[in-house]
Amino acid sequence: MAATEKLLKASGVLYTDRRNFYVDPQVTKELWTDVAPFTTLISNQEMRKVPDPVFKMFEHRNPWVKQKFVINNGGGYTIPDDDTGVASVAIDGIVGLASSADSSYVGLVVEIWNSAETTNRGCAVITASSTTLTLKSLANGAISVSDDDICYIVGSAHGEGSSAPEAWSDELSVVFNSCQIFKTPLQITGTLQAAVLRGESSELARLRRLKGQEHKMQKEKAFLFGMRDDGTGLDLQDGSTSDSFNDAGRSDADGNLIRTTYGIVSAINQYGDSSGDDQSVFTVDGSYAYGDFVDDMEKVFQYVPESGVKRAFCGAGALGYWSKMAGSSGLAGNSGWTVSLGDMKRDSLGFNYRVLETPHGMLQLIPTPALRGPYNKYMVAVSDENLFHAQYRPQQYQTNIKTDNAFDAVKDQYMSDEGVGIQLIESHHLFKITA
């Protein structure tokens, strides 16, 4: 018998070296098919080519939405029920008006409330203004006024034949952000590229697909959680900012400037208010009741124009929380809640969502793979009108980027220079669920 001759075996025995273990040798299943719904949405909603990797945006808050000031007289006094008025009323806490009392205040009609906004003291008209105000009662009776009372503007009234009051105006605000350079390389040897493989017929094609998803996920996380050195100026809604515009960043080992973009979750955390009419940051704890839910949703949907529908990107834990709250048979139903959560649907852009009905509008809850770990129970509801995808250089696939010395391999990379534009931070809302 020749040395290379195979030994005879029993009939019907499977030869190990001739077996094919693969049900479908050219198919591999992948997790995370909906990799980056946030990036997908803003890219399709509004993509803007920016002229510089550091870009500015104008924003403006209409002053007529909330016009008020606070009385700062240091004690109580009375506006008499006659035409003599009360002079020398100092004010502070000015919103939506000239920054200090001047003749532009003359003719304004104010409704006076106590500091807790629970007692309406009556109306008065401002008849003179320099550094202080002269008020005359319109309440058909004297008005007792205390320090820190709040005066809301309810119109204006001027004398017959009177002159126009002094005009005033505000200025546009400027906010800013940066694009950052994303690079995701891939490499295989020439030998592996030429091999005939099972599972995936081309390892280069598999890595291209894998690294393309990785590149997109890195952008997704940057657009959500990234931070920018020296900020973005988004705290201008309170009339001041600690950020100054510059080409900010850090240096790499070779002294090259590294620019980064400020993500929406980080921006709301940094610049959003956690209380008040402009609240952007909400905490949902074990004591959270249906009344809290209604009040919070009023703030989420308060700004116009709004379509009545907002998109909310959720971690799995946040989506699970609202699921437990929904329906008469759920935890919420047993506690008096009446939250309605729709079935899972598929958006035309390729991601799943469920609709959460609120008394003030509809929230599209979009499961977001990047919201995992410490962000598992986070939900960020964004305003489409005040958010966009900034692109300085579009994503490109660069091939054979390493060729020196007859390099026996293929090295490619995905590269892009992109960021996110965020305006009017109070129109975006972040929910942190701790329950």
Q: Give the whole-angstrom CA distance, residue 79 versus residue 82.
A: 8
Q: Give the whole-angstrom CA distance, residue 275 versus residue 299.
A: 10
At residue 306, the pLDDT reads 61
* Buried residues in 391-427 as b, exposed as e (16+ CB within 10 A): bbeebeeeeeeeeeeeeeebebbbbbbbbbbbbbbbb
Q: Which two tokens stand for residue 2?
A: 């020749």
Cβ 413 vs Cβ 340: under 8 Å? no
Q: Pick the residue with more confidence: 171 or 281?
A: 281
pTM: 0.81
Please give the helix or strand (H or E) that residue 205 lies within, else none: helix 203-225
Q: Give the whole-angstrom CA distance, residue 268 versus residue 97.
A: 26
Which DSSP state fits 165?
A: P
Strands 150-156 and 378-382, by their bridges, are unpaired
At residue 329, the pLDDT reads 47
Nearest alpha carbon to residue 343 among 352, 335, 334:
352
Strands 352-358 and 409-422, by their bridges, are unpaired
pLDDT bin (cut points 50, 70, 90) of residue 420 is: very high
The answer to which of 80-89, 218-227, 418-427 has the lowest mean pLDDT is 80-89
At residue 330, the pLDDT reads 47
At residue 32, the pLDDT reads 44
Q: Give the whole-angstrom CA distance, residue 254 versus residue 381.
A: 40
Percent of the chain's residues with pLDDT above 70: 84
Helix (H, G, I), strand (E, B) or coil at 215: helix
Give residue-wise pLDDT tens across range 232-287. Answer: 988 865 556 678 888 888 999 999 999 999 999 999 999 999 998 889 999 999 88
- The number of residues in the chain equals 435
At residue 123, the pLDDT reads 94
Q: Give the whole-angstrom CA distance, residue 281 versus residue 237.
A: 15
Q: Which two tokens stand for residue 184?
A: 């995701």
* Buried residues in 56-76 as b, exposed as e (16+ CB within 10 A): ebebebeeeeebbbbbebeee
Q: Where exactly are the structural domains of the chain? A: 37-60+173-433, 63-156
Q: Give the whole-angstrom CA distance, residue 311 versus residue 199.
A: 38
Q: Give the whole-angstrom CA distance, residue 355 versus residue 371.
A: 19
What is the average pLDDT across 310-317?
94
Residue 392: φ, ψ to 5°: -90, -45
At residue 357, the pLDDT reads 87
At residue 221, the pLDDT reads 96
At residue 27, the pLDDT reads 46
Residue 368: φ, ψ to 5°: -130, 110
Q: Which two tokens stand for residue 201?
A: 């017929």
DSSP conformation letters of 278-346: TB-EEEE-TT--HHHHHHHHHHHT-SSS--SEEEEEE-HHHHHHHHHHBSTTSHHHHTT--BEEPPPEE
Give residue-wise pLDDT tens across range 348-387. Answer: 666 788 899 888 899 999 999 999 999 999 999 999 889 9
- For the chain, the average pLDDT equals 84
Give residue-wise pLDDT tens across range 100-148. Answer: 888 899 999 999 999 999 999 999 999 988 888 989 999 888 898 999 9
- C-alpha dihedral, 134 to 102 to 173 to 300, nearest 10°: 10
Q: Which two tokens stand for residue 4?
A: 């290379």
